[in-house]
Amino acid sequence: MPKYLRYQDYVIRDGRLVGEFDEMYRDHTDPWEQTTRERFASEKAVALNLISRLKAERGARVVVELGSGLGDFTARIAELGVHVIGIDISQTAVDKARARHPSIDFICGRFSDHEALRDLKPDIVVMADITWYVLDELPAFLSFFKRDLPQTWLIHLLMTYAPGIQRYGAKFFTDLDGIKRYFGLNYLESGLVHYDRGARSWFAGRAAALDA
């Protein structure tokens, strides 16, 4: 029997971060419907298009996905002809991703392990819907990213919520404009895909000037 019937309760419960990610992946087969519904998420298609554009126009070849989960989106990135590495905090998720996609590199690691990211020297870092879970670590990450990886592109996807729904993280940001101000990058593109409970935001940006 799973500890909680809802996979969401392993992550954020009663307005606070729980972060029991490994337990979640042990107890639930497809959290966030990564292998089914998420395949057709419009903002994921936007992210794939942005990676293709950065490959064609800027020579991007190495992509790191932070929070790669079961690896299905990582595999779709690999289909674009780039070298992609998936990193997830859950060893169970990494093991499942390796079994599902044996030709792709998956690593168990923490968001706060900046040395690992520096060593990988990515042209693109993808953060797809993980930001709510790393808010406390975000200031240190952004400081590192701007200082050590100024030429690296960040493709960021995040669900935002209609007024009155969001309880966790509202002091950081609540919409795309707030997200962009908080990250403080130079943005190539950004936008929203609207859903019934809010919107999924996306942007591509980096610390260096866009024409550098």
Q: Which residues of 61-88 are buried (b: 16+ CB within 10 A; e: fewer)?
A: eebbbbbbbbbbbbbbbbebebebbbbb
Is residue 12 domain-resident?
no
pLDDT digits (tens, 9 = 90+) for 121-143: 999 999 999 999 999 999 999 99
Q: Domain range for residue 180?
A: 31-206
Model-level pTM? 0.96
Is residue 160 domain-resident?
yes
pLDDT digits (tens, 9 = 90+) for 69-120: 999 999 999 999 999 999 999 999 999 999 999 999 999 999 999 999 999 9
Q: How many structural domains are present in the chain?
A: 1
Q: Which residues contact 71 (CB under 8 A, 6 or more apart)?
A: 86, 96, 97, 98, 100, 101, 104, 106
Give the pLDDT mean for 160-171. Answer: 85
Q: Which two tokens stand for residue 171?
A: 């002091």
Is residue 26 domain-resident?
no
Is residue 9 domain-resident?
no
**What does the alpha-carbon distance between residue 39 and residue 47 come to, in Å, rounded to a whole number?**
12
pLDDT for res 105: 98
Q: Is the pLDDT of residue 31 over 80?
A: yes
CATH number at residue 100: 3.40.50.150
Of all residues in the chain, what percent carry a pLDDT higher than 70?
100
Is residue 88 domain-resident?
yes
Which residue type sits at 59? Answer: G
Of all residues in the chain, what percent carry a pLDDT higher than 90?
90
Residue where the block lists tokens 């996306």: 202
Q: Is the pLDDT of residue 212 over 70?
A: no
